[in-house]
Amino acid sequence: MERTVLLSKDYKTGDALGKVLSLQPNQVIEMVKDSGLRGRGGAGFPTGLKWDLAAKASGEKKYVICNADEGEPGTFKDRVLLLEHTEKLVEGMAIAAYAIGSDEGIIYLRSEYRWMLKELQQRIESSMNVVKQKGFTFRLEVRQNAGAYICGEETALIESLEGKRGEPRNRPPYPVECGYLNCPTIVNNVETFCYIPKIVNQGPDEFKRYGTEKSKGTKLFSISGDCNKPGVYELDLGSPVSDVLKLVDAERTKAVQIGGASGVTIGEKDFDKPIAFEGFPPGGSIIIFNKSRNMRHVLKNLMEFFVDESCGQCTPCREGNLRILEAIDRLDSGEKLDEEYMETLVELANVMKVASKCGLGQTSANPFLYIYENFREDL
Amino acid sequence: MATTNVQTKLKISINDKELQAHPGDTILQVAEKNEIHIPTLCHHSDLCLSGVCRVCVCEVHGERLLQTACSTPVRDGMKVYTNTTKVRKARKMIIELLVSRHFGECTTCKRNMNCELQALAEEYGLEEVRFDKPAERRYEVEDQNPVVRDNDKCILCRRCVNVCDEIQGVEAIKPMFRGSESEIACMYNLDLGEVTCVMCGQCINRCPTGALTEKDATKEVWKAIEDPTKHVIVQTAPAIRATVAELFDIAPGSRITGKLVTALRKIGFDSVLDTDFTADLTIMEEGTELLTRLKKVLVDGDKETKIPMFTSCSPGWIKFCEHYYPDLLGNLSTCKSPQQMFGALAKTYYAEQMKLDPANIVTVSVMPCTAKKFEADRPEMNDSGYKDVDYVLTNRELGRMIKQAGVNIMELDETDYDSLMARGTGAAVIFGATGGVMEAALRTAYEIITGREVPFENLNITAVRGLDGVKEAAIKLEGLVDAWKFLEGATLKIAIANGLNNARKLMDKVRAGEADYHFIEIMACPGGCLGGGGQPIPTSQAIREKRAGAIYDEDMALRVRKSHENEDVKKIYEVYLGEPLGHKSHKLLHTHYTERGRY
């Protein structure tokens, strides 16, 4: 169901921070934990727990990083938040900083969003004035990605911030213990931070009114593809796919891809299922394909993307994506691949899922697996 | 991963076997300690954890994802499974993926039978490669430098990148581009010879495949040997004798000097001589240079003369200094390395004594080092009027020649080197280990200025031994002979570094004026020449320790263990050179350095 919670303009910058500053940091963390807020970047890690780990990690200097590297194909909801709800983001980051004991934040901005930099910085500055008025010492800067998709992965993002080649790190240690410049660091998505002032102002219970048992609250979705009303929507977590299709006026829908390029690709038989952490993963994007589309073309497009965007570090992702793309290319040129070879590719995809170093390689074979499973006739 | 708290113990299990571990241990470390085999490829015991190839994946109870043994720290109660269907399938698939993109035939590869990818394919019983192998080369072989790169054989394990960064602090090569286009390359895709690569060859020693190899000179050497008009001299570096046996599947730590000499004769060299001779000569020249510098600085107040003086035997170190510390070139001893002293003398002194036309002499050296190839090709290395050293073979190339000659080295009788430039002392032998040049220099210099032997049991200056990255020592100078009385009561401060990242630590101190050393020994490679880039593969700290043991045993086994007591050295000063730092020495045995850019 569509709502206006996060996107509501009924909000006064600074109220939440003012309230937070009268609390103990651990009380703030408890509040976030209580809300059940899970990371809005896609992985859904409990935000309060992340903050708690960073707060308890030893280290004098700690960092709050906002992942604004909105690079998942089909996502554009953070763009709206960055430009139209900047004050919520800044306030959310300041609250996070207070909660974990940090005085420094960085917004890591997608390279393709360079065009908004000037306006964003102006808006940040005015929000930061409020932070200052409230008497909280916090430094916030915007840093830019250079264009690599992988830098949206939090440890690759940190490497990139440190001026290194953007590649995922080994984990553990996790960023909450050893992140940016080896200091305890939280990395949260733009949307995650934006919910924070809301939760503080209205209390965790209000936030929990929507959503499901394991997926609390509303969430923004970037909906695009074959529909009459594409755009950014705020929906209850747990909304069934069919409701979403109705909302955006999609017709003759053949397939829906939920959670970005590496998410799930489902057909009609699954349209009644919910979009939630316990259902179809609620990443930022929903892409709709109607019956005129051939899913092999979709798959080819996605695999080309992953072949280009794999960092090249680990074997399963670097080589695996390439091998899947090669097979799709062969199919595309009219060649028939026997069952045995297709099963080899499934075996490969499953190895990529469990043996790749980071989320990219662990999920980049998903489109192949889903499309092979649900739209085999197109291959 | 190091752990400071050895008291705390964790309980984990591997394949249901209960084991104890320390916090910070990786799964692999615990497995290795308990003799549980986990295959690895990107992991190397000399390097920080990497976790990129994924060959070492294991199942951890309760985790959906497989975990890499090399990079995953253990935690209390962890249950690890190294041998399940899921694990075997994943490993085999990963090996298959690597093999499928690895271009080239095993049979024509220098690493045939000594290739970790080949071994893994065998271990996992790879029966077929289900993905298309590349039909043609994607990269040109870069073969103009002592270090040859064939990126078509590269499996992107990054050990080369890591050794160049972590151990050598050079960072000449890096991963470039993304995804399937990833490759290991120099900045702007320049050639290795155009960047700050010091040609140390440490990357070759870490490479699991044949992607990195030495530039082969065996063909040229065979040709010279077979040319009846040429008198082909071979010199063997100190560190060769203690390692060459490894090329014939003998465990590290066996020294086979006599067999090596016989093998070289069987190959057909006209004269088998020893770099140890010029190592002793280096001590005479360098020791004298040090004392002269100290006098100039401490007594004469000469502002031009620089201390601390740095050793100059290691050509990788020289090139490093030229690139990164050009302001400190004045601190480098002007002595050529033993190899180059040998070459210059072979075509002058030796030619004269043996009544040979130097134009017909071909000098070949067998070195533990790829940078020696670079050094021999330096344009200034022609003081004899000819190219002083014509060809440099690494230990590995020599191994190939011995095999090609059909010689079973381990079965050979032991023979002695030829005469004239062949006798070396124990002091020369230890040049092969880090601290060895320092120890040899001290044995001589101390005796020159005090008239007494160094005050250590059996001449063994243990303070400068061992494979620590940086070592320091101080010796109080007392009871000096008249000529050196000005140093009476002074404390000689020395430092030693092996591995260029360690050298950096010392150099930064020197540059900042924070070092009060008088003499610094630097060897480019970990452990010194015994860990050189031309040595047998594999290498590890344990292997280097065994090689060091063999070198110090050889020193103890020799009757003469001080360079200044080398009879051949005494003779050459008598009949040819005159005195250390004399006119002829200056011409033949000393050199100058070139400031090189960083880019």
CA distance A339 to chain B (A): 13
Phi, psi (degrees; rounded to nearest 5) at A209: -60, -30
Cα A351 → chain centroid = 24
Measured CA to CA, the distance from residue B400 to residue B419 in angstroms comes to 26
Instruction: Find the CB nearest B90 among A167, A321, A354.
Output: A354
Instruction: Find the CB nearest A312 among B57, B130, B178.
Output: B178
Burial classification of residue A34, based on how many CB atoms lie within 10 Å of its CB (0-12 exposed, 13-18 middle, 19 or more buried): middle
pLDDT at B387 over 50: yes
Per-residue pLDDT tens digits for B393-426: 999 999 999 999 999 999 999 999 998 999 999 9
pLDDT at B1: 43
Whether the Cβ atoms of residue A267 and residue A371 lie closer than 8 Å to each other: no
Per-residue pLDDT tens digits for A84-133: 999 999 999 999 999 999 999 999 999 999 999 999 999 999 999 999 99
List beta partners, residue B67. Answer: B58
Question: Is the CB of A326 less than 8 angstroms away from the CB of B132?
Answer: yes
- Chain B's closest residue to A308, CA to CA, is B179
Per-residue pLDDT tens digits for B440-481: 999 999 999 999 999 999 999 999 999 999 999 999 999 999
Active-site annotation holder among B59, B214, B286, B439: B286
Which of B469, B513, B531 is CA-nearest to residue B495? Answer: B469
- Neighbouring CB atoms inside 10 A of A271's CB total 16
pLDDT at B105: 87
Which of A373, A159, A114, A129 is CA-nearest to residue A267? Answer: A373
Mutate to test the interface with B, among A305, A325, A354 (most CBs of B within 10 A): A354
Chain A within 8 Å of B97 (Cβ-Cβ)? Answer: yes
What single-letter DSSP state applies at residue B385?
Answer: S
Task: Find chain A residues with C-beta within 8 A of B171's C-beta.
Answer: none
pLDDT at B116 over 60: yes
Virtual torsion, Cα B253, B256, B257, B261, nearest 10 deg: -140
Question: Is the CB of B54 less than 8 angstroms away from the CB of A355?
Answer: yes
Burial classification of residue B48, based on how many CB atoms lie within 10 Å of its CB (0-12 exposed, 13-18 middle, 19 or more buried): middle
Q: Is B200 a catalytic residue?
A: no
Mean pLDDT of B140-168: 97
Q: Is B529 a catalytic residue?
A: yes
Q: Is B313 a catalytic residue?
A: yes
Active-site annotation holder among B153, B372, B373, B562: B372
pTM of the model: 0.94
Cis peptide before B73 (omega within 30 of 0): no
Task: Find chain A residues with C-beta within 8 A of B73's C-beta.
Answer: 172
Instruction: Find the CB nearest B52 among A314, A321, A348.
Output: A314
Active-site annotation holder among B254, B312, B333, B563: B333
Mean pLDDT of B94-107: 94
Measured CA to CA, the distance from residue B493 to residue B238 in angstroms comes to 26
- Give the pLDDT band of residue B7 (cuts 50, 70, 90): low
Which of A210, A273, A163 is CA-nearest to residue A37? Answer: A210
- Give the pLDDT band of residue B3 (cuts 50, 70, 90): very low
- Give the pLDDT band of residue A43 (cuts 50, 70, 90): confident
Mean pLDDT of A37-62: 96
Per-residue pLDDT tens digits for B22-67: 999 999 999 999 999 999 999 999 999 889 999 999 999 999 999 9
Residue B398 to residues A212, B243, B402, Cα–Cα distance (Å) = 72, 12, 6
Cα A182 → chain centroid = 23
Chain A within 8 Å of B85 (Cβ-Cβ)? Answer: no
pLDDT at B49: 85
Mean pLDDT of A331-354: 97
pLDDT at B2 over 60: no
Measured CA to CA, the distance from residue A105 to residue B471 in angstroms comes to 42
Instruction: Find the CB nearest B179 among A307, A326, A357.
Output: A307
What single-letter DSSP state applies at residue B167?
Answer: I
Task: Find chain B residues with C-beta within 8 A of A354's C-beta.
Answer: 57, 64-66, 86, 90
Task: Find chain A residues with C-beta within 8 A of B54's C-beta.
Answer: 314-316, 355-357
Question: Is the CB of A357 less than 8 angstroms away from the CB of B52?
Answer: yes
CA distance B596 to chain A (A): 26
Whether the Cβ atoms of residue B237 and residue B529 lie closer than 8 Å to each other: yes
- Chain B's closest residue to A359, CA to CA, is B65
pLDDT at B104: 83
pLDDT at B4 over 80: no
Question: Is the CB of A308 less than 8 angstroms away from the CB of B179?
Answer: yes
Global ipTM: 0.95
Q: What is the mean pLDDT of chain B?
A: 95
For residue B19, give every residue at least 6 positions away whose Cβ sits within 8 Å of its Cβ, in sequence order, or none.
Answer: B11, B12, B13, B30, B34
CB contact residues (below 8 A), chain B span 111-140, against chain A:
130-132
Active-site annotation holder among B183, B384, B529, B546: B529
3-state secondary structure A3-72: CCCCCCCCCCCCHHHHHHHCCCHHHHHHHHHHHCCECCCCCCCEHHHHHHHHHHCCCCCCEEEEEECCCC
Chain B within 8 Å of A152 (Cβ-Cβ)? Answer: no
Print burial letters for A295-310: b (CB count within 10 Å at least 16), e (below 16): bbebbbebbebbbebb
Within chain B, what is the greatest distance between any pair of CA atoms?
Answer: 80
Residue B365 to residues A76, A85, B386, B536, Cα–Cα distance (Å) = 65, 72, 16, 16
Question: Is the CB of A312 less than 8 angstroms away from the CB of B132?
Answer: no
pLDDT at B5 over 70: no
Question: Is the CB of A310 less than 8 angstroms away from the CB of B179?
Answer: yes
Per-residue pLDDT tens digits for A142-200: 999 999 999 999 999 999 999 999 999 999 999 999 999 999 999 999 999 999 999 99
Mean pLDDT of B498-513: 97
For residue A254, give every residue at least 6 positions away whose Cβ sits within 8 Å of its Cβ, in sequence order, or none.
Answer: A267, A268, A289, A290, A291, A293, A295, A375
Question: Is the CB of A326 less than 8 angstroms away from the CB of B55?
Answer: no
Chain B within 8 Å of A346 (Cβ-Cβ)? Answer: no
Question: Is the CB of B179 less than 8 angstroms away from the CB of A323?
Answer: no
pLDDT > 70: percent of chain B: 99
Question: Is the CB of A172 less than 8 angstroms away from the CB of B131?
Answer: no
- Give the pLDDT band of residue B15 (cuts 50, 70, 90): very high
- Give the pLDDT band of residue A281 (cuts 50, 70, 90): confident
pLDDT at B592 over 50: yes
Q: Is B333 a catalytic residue?
A: yes
